[in-house]
């Protein structure tokens, strides 16, 4: 039997009855945009994180853009971020009118390297966007210190880190604001596109609420050039069903990751330095001969994926940069199956197949 890298229906199938009932209630509710399900989810996700404000938006890319604009960052500003991330991080920065400046990452955490961040700070730098890559815990406290010393904003891109913690505090609550995506593959995912911005600043939250909906004031007068970036009732209803399961699902991922770590230790595979509160959005190892390693697994019926095979600084849409660690990782990263509905059934077989690989140094 084939082990896919991921199987999305398998994850939603575990909650199919509840999801159908929730979607039915939206259909009959006569409100499809910014209604009671959105309000309920915004409150529930804010409570889950212990943060004051949560604003539902259309996707994670918009969440990055709106977090920056809400903090007053935009045209003329530079924003430091990693290039080892999804395009949404840098596209969000550009959508806000700012320029992404790529800093390098750490080989173990695959997250921003504070030293490279400090070296990237210039006269126009207004903010740092830190990504908790693969659900690993980025050095948020160190980066917050750097941001404060240089009077910069810190924004967390927590699109891969729902429910992750650093010293017991939820990721997404360390900086001035944080962006989350609920794209179907994320640790908390829905049946389409959705995102939120969270912040503990009432003024910032209010500005983002206005910006997501046409820049309207209370009289529906556009007082600034806002977005159409609203969270659908249908997606919010799905998220209301799945949020109570997030910790359980993350726990299942953690059990799988512990087994990988224990049973792959000693092999010539670079294991992630994920941090205690990690949530294993991916479990990515480093392979010196990735093509051959992935072919070996594929021939054994095991699907893998690569997140990501190229740093954003190598793509035509983004500014260039010299990032040796990002380039090193981009050639070697291999994501092993970690979605519980796929991996739990097959983990013995996956580990056995990896152990029987003919290593060449």
Ligand X SMILES: *Cc1c(COP(=O)(O)O)cnc(C)c1O
User: 321-360: which residues touch ligand X (CB under 6 A)?
Assistant: none
From 45-53, 59-67, 238-246, 310-318, give the range in contact with ligand X by CB under 6 A: 59-67
Q: Which residue number, 89 or 125, has a Cβ lying nearer to ligand X?
A: 89
Among 116, 160, 250, 282, binds ligand X (CB under 6 A): 160
- Does 183 sit near ligand X (CB under 6 A)? yes
- Does 181 sit near ligand X (CB under 6 A)? yes
Q: Which residue number, 246 or 351, has a Cβ lying nearer to ligand X?
A: 246
CB of 68 to ligand X, least distance (A): 13
The CB-nearest residue to ligand X is: 60
- Does 195 sit near ligand X (CB under 6 A)? yes
From 43-51, 83-91, 111-119, 220-228, give the range in contact with ligand X by CB under 6 A: 83-91
- What span, in angstroms and rounded, lies between the C-alpha atoms of 40 and 123? 42
Handedness of CA 342, 347, 353, 355 (dihedral sign): positive
CB of 189 to ligand X, least distance (A): 10
Among 11, 61, 190, 302, binds ligand X (CB under 6 A): 61
CB of 265 to ligand X, least distance (A): 27
CB of 171 to ligand X, least distance (A): 12
From 23-31, 156-164, 291-299, 348-356, give the range in contact with ligand X by CB under 6 A: 156-164
- Does 159 sit near ligand X (CB under 6 A)? yes
CB of 88 to ligand X, least distance (A): 3
Among 59, 136, 173, 341, binds ligand X (CB under 6 A): 59
- Tell me which residues touch ligand X (CB under 6 A): 59-61, 85-86, 88-89, 131, 157, 159-160, 181, 183, 193, 195
């Amino acid at each position: 039997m084939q082990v896919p890298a991921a199987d999305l229906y398998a994850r939603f199938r575990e909650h199919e009855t509840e999801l159908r009932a929730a979607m039915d209630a939206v259909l009959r509710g006569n409100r499809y945009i910014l209604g009671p399900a959105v309000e309920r989810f915004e409150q529930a996700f804010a409570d889950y994180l212990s943060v004051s404000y949560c604003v539902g938006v259309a996707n994670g890319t918009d969440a990055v853009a709106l977090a920056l604009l809400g903090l007053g960052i935009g045209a003329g500003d530079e924003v430091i971020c990693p290039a080892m991330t999804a395009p949404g991080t840098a596209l969000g920065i550009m959508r806000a009118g700012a320029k992404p400046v790529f800093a390098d990452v750490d080989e173990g955490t695959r997250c921003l390297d504070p030293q490279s961040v400090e070296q990237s700070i210039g006269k126009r730098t207004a903010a740092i966007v830190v990504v908790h890559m693969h659900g690993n815990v980025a050095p948020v406290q160190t980066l917050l210190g750097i941001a404060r010393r240089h009077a910069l904003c810190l924004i967390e891109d927590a699109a891969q880190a729902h429910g992750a913690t650093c010293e017991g505090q939820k990721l997404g609550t360390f900086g001035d604001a944080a962006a989350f995506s609920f794209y179907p593959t994320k640790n908390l995912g829905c049946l389409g596109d959705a995102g939120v911005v969270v912040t503990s600043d009432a003024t910032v939250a209010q500005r983002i609420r206005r910006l997501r909906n046409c820049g309207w004031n209370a009289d529906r007068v556009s007082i600034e050039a806002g977005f159409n970036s609203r969270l659908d009732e249908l997606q919010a209803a799905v998220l209301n069903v799945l949020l109570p399961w997030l910790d359980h699902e993350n726990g299942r991922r953690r059990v799988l990751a512990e087994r990988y770590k224990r049973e792959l230790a000693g092999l010539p595979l670079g294991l992630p330095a994920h941090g205690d509160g990690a949530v294993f959005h991916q479990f990515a190892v480093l392979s010196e001969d990735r093509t051959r390693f992935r072919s070996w697994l594929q021939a054994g019926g095991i699907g893998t994926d690569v997140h990501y095979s190229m740093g954003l600084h190598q793509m035509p849409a983004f500014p260039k940069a010299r990032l040796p660690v990002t380039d090193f990782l981009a050639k070697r990263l291999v994501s092993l199956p970690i979605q519980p509905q796929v991996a739990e059934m097959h983990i013995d077989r996956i580990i056995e197949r990896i152990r029987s690989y003919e290593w060449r140094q």
